[in-house]
Structure 1
Amino acid sequence: MSLSSHVQELKKKHQNLSEHVELMQRSPAADDIEIAKLKKQKLMLKEEITRLSTH
């Protein structure tokens, strides 16, 4: 897998997590701990994307 395609895959995962977090936040029975975990995953993906994009 090329670096470019890897970064694109990470961006897709980040977008999917963003959408999932948004849906969970709208739910009245939202699990705050699960939302926090997803946000942490999003941040880790974002940092990885940034790290790979600057090389």
Structure 2
Amino acid sequence: MNKKNYSEKRLARELGVSQQAVSKWLTGKSVPKLQLFYNICVAVDVSPNDLLLWLEDDR
């Protein structure tokens, strides 16, 4: 799923959100709250720019 090979479940637990929320982000059904953006970048080891590009490509 990412550079650190997190599972949806592990990422959800680390961010304090549901696994369903992470799944919706990955499938483009929703986007994460801005407050979580930095934490997601750190967790999956991607730059904010790369994450934004990925989110944009999914729309």
TM-score, scaled to structure 1: 0.33
Larger Rg: 1
Structure with more helix by fraction = 1
TM-score normalized by structure 2? 0.32
